Amino acid sequence: MPKLKTKNSLRKRFKRNGSGKLKMAASGKRHGMSKRSKKFIRSTRGMEIMSSSDASRINHLMPYNK
């Protein structure tokens, strides 16, 4: 059976933490920061943990990252 390929766009966007959950960058920070509040900009700094329902859709596209 051939090797499964990982979707490269997902490999660049998501990482696994130690317990196996998916980490992702916070959404809403690509552009338009002047209209966002300072509290929003601070709270979306760093990485977030993806919900399990969303992570189940991503898992089959990253077969060796489990």
- Which amino acid would we find at residue 13? R
CATH code given to domain 1-47+57-66: 4.10.410.60
Give the pLDDT of residue 65: 83
Q: For residue 66, which of 25, 5, 19, 4 has the smallest C-alpha distance? A: 19
Give the per-residue pLDDT at 42.
Answer: 96
* 1-59 residue pLDDT tens: 899 999 999 999 999 999 999 999 999 999 999 999 999 999 999 999 999 999 999 99
Domain ranges of the chain: 1-47+57-66
H or E stretch at 38: helix 38-43
Is the pLDDT score of 66 beyond 90? no
Q: CA-CA distance, 49 to 24, in Å (whole number)?
A: 6
